[in-house]
Structure 1
Amino acid sequence: MPLEIERRFLVSGSGWRVHAGEPQPLRQGYLASSEQGFTVRMRLRADGRAWLTLKAPADGIARHEFEYDLPSADAEALWALAPHRLAKTRYALALPGGDWVLDCFEGENAPLVLAEVELPDAAAPLVLPDWCAEEVTGDGRWSNAALACNPISRWAPATRSRYGWDPA
Structure 2
Amino acid sequence: MAKEIERKFLVADTAWRDNVEAAIEIRQFYLATGPGRTVRIRISNGVEALLTLKFSGPGRGRDEYEYGVPLSEALEMQAFALGRVIEKTRHHVRYGGYLYEVDVFAGSLEGLVIAELETPDIVAAENLPSWLGRDVTDDGRYYNASLALGGESGGDLVLAG
Tell me the TM-score normalized by structure 1.
0.85
Equivalence map 1:100-119=2 (5 Å): 100-119=100-119
Query: Structure 1 residues 15, 60: closer, same or farther in 2, change over 3 A?
Result: same
Query: Structure 1 residues 105, 67: closer, same or farther in 2, change over 3 A?
Result: same
Equivalence map 1:79-98=2 (5 Å): 79-84=78-83, 85-98=85-98
| Cα shift at 1:23 | 2.2
Equivalent pair of 2:36/2:57 in contact (CA under 8 Å): no
| Structure 2 residues not aligned, in runs of 5+ | none
Query: Structure 1 residues 152, 131: closer, same or farther in 2, change over 3 A?
Result: farther
Once residues 33 and 17 of structure 1 are traced to their aligned partners in structure 2, the CA distance between those partners, rounded to angstroms, is 33
Equivalent pair of 1:5/1:118 in contact (CA under 8 Å): yes
Alignment of 1:125 with 2:123, yes or no, is yes
Tell me the TM-score normalized by structure 2.
0.89
Equivalent pair of 2:82/2:148 in contact (CA under 8 Å): no
1:14-40 deviation line (CA, Å, top 9, x unaligned): 011011123211000100112x23100
The percent identity for this pair of structures is: 37
Q: Tell me how large the CA RMSD over aligned residues is.
A: 1.9
Alignment of 1:11 with 2:11, yes or no, is yes
Count how many residue pairs are aligned between Structure 1 and Structure 2.
158
Please tell me the residue identity of whatever aligns with 1:103: D
Equivalent pair of 1:108/1:151 in contact (CA under 8 Å): no
SS of residue in 2 equivalent to 1:117: strand
Alignment of 1:46 with 2:45, yes or no, is yes
| Cα shift at 1:97 | 4.3
Bigger proportion of residues as strand: 2
Equivalent pair of 1:11/1:115 in contact (CA under 8 Å): yes
| Cα shift at 1:2 | 2.3
Equivalent pair of 1:97/1:125 in contact (CA under 8 Å): no
Equivalence map 1:132-151=2 (5 Å): 132-151=132-151
Equivalent pair of 1:104/1:112 in contact (CA under 8 Å): yes
Please tell me the residue identity of whatever aligns with 2:57: A
Once residues 77 and 93 of structure 1 are traced to their aligned partners in structure 2, the CA distance between those partners, rounded to angstroms, is 32
| Cα shift at 1:47 | 4.2
Please tell me the residue identity of whatever aligns with 1:104: V
Please tell me the residue identity of whatever aligns with 2:73: D
Please tell me the residue identity of whatever aligns with 1:37: G
Structure-2 residue corresponding to 1:22: 22
